[in-house]
């Protein structure tokens, strides 16, 4: 367990730099997120809003701009051949008003652009889907060697076989309830229209 208080003493940028190493070491990355757009797909403005809110919550060093640059800099990995990002989000993540409506609309426009990219498989679990398990906290699986789970007070870096197995089972269950392609695009477009109307 890595408490946020300890990790963020030097700010958010060092945490982002450490995560970049994990992304670079991995070829198959799987993510689940139910509360917001995942970091790897965030626009700078959306990331800025997220970092600002967490910095306020944790009372951390205000290095938001450095953290935004670090997060967006690693997005080039999304386009590298030989690496696959399989990202699944709950539809609620598309509607969460964690930023101004214009920022959210721009973020959703960018999100729809990842559909059809050969290195990114984006799935959205609709509100109407029957869920095999409750959509709890977000996490990333890095190949089959590590899972990183975020909670309010800490981040958990787990690399034992039992933990990886259970999180892979959770991910498989939620991914099985997701829609892809044009169906996912339709959900994103609907959320974007609502943001633009706000």
CATH number at residue 103: 3.30.870.10
**What is the total count of domains within the chain?**
1
Give yes or no for a contact between 117 and 125, defined as CB atoms under 8 angstroms apart. no
Q: Which residue has the higher pLDDT, 55 or 72?
A: 72
Reading phi first (left if > 0) and then psi (alpha if -120 to 50, else beta), residue 59 is in left
The pLDDT assigned to 74 comes to: 95
Interval 143-183: pLDDT, tens: 999 999 988 888 899 999 999 999 999 999 999 999 999 99
Spatial separation of the C-alpha atoms in residues 169 and 182, rounded to whole Å: 26
Please determine, for residue 185, whether its predicted confidence score (pLDDT) is greater than 70.
yes
The pLDDT assigned to 117 comes to: 95
Please determine, for residue 3, whether its predicted confidence score (pLDDT) is greater than 90.
no
C-alpha count within 13 angstroms, C-beta hemisphere, residue 14: 10
Nearest C-alpha neighbor of 89 from the set 19, 189, 178? 178
Give yes or no for a contact between 117 and 184, defined as CB atoms under 8 angstroms apart. no
Give yes or no for a contact between 113 and 58, defined as CB atoms under 8 angstroms apart. no
**Domain span including residue 99:** 2-197
Q: Calculate the CA 174 to chain-centre distance.
A: 15
Give yes or no for a contact between 87 and 122, defined as CB atoms under 8 angstroms apart. yes
User: What's the mean pLDDT in 81-104?
Assistant: 97
Least confident window among 25-29, 57-61, 91-95, 165-169: 57-61
Residue 4 pLDDT grade (very low, low, confident, very high; cuts 50, 70, 90)? low
What spatial distance separates the first Cα and last Cα of the chain, rounded to whole Å?
Answer: 39
Nearest C-alpha neighbor of 6 from the set 155, 157, 159, 158? 155
- What are the start-end ranges of the E strands in the chain? 2-3, 28-33, 84-90, 120-125, 139-142, 146-150, 154-158
């Amino acid at each position: 367990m890595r408490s946020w208080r300890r990790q963020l003493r030097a700010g958010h940028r060092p945490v982002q730099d450490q995560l970049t190493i994990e992304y670079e070491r991995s070829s198959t990355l799987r993510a689940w997120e139910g509360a917001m757009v995942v970091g790897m797909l965030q626009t700078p403005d959306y990331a800025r809003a997220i970092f600002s809110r967490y910095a306020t919550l944790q009372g951390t060093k205000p290095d938001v701009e450095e953290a935004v640059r670090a997060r967006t800099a690693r997005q080039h990995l999304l386009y590298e051949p030989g690496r696959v990002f399989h990202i699944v989000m709950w539809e609620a993540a598309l509607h969460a008003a964690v930023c101004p409506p214009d920022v959210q609309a721009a973020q959703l426009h960018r999100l729809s652009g990842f559909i059809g990219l050969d290195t990114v498989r984006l799935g959205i679990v609709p509100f109407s889907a029957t869920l095999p398990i409750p959509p709890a906290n977000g996490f990333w699986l890095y190949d089959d060697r590590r899972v990183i789970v975020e909670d309010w007070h800490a981040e958990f870096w787990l690399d034992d076989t039992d933990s990886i197995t259970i999180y892979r089972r959770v991910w498989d269950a939620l991914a099985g309830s997701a829609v892809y392609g044009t169906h996912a695009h339709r959900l994103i477009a609907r959320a974007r229209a609502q943001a633009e109307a706000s």
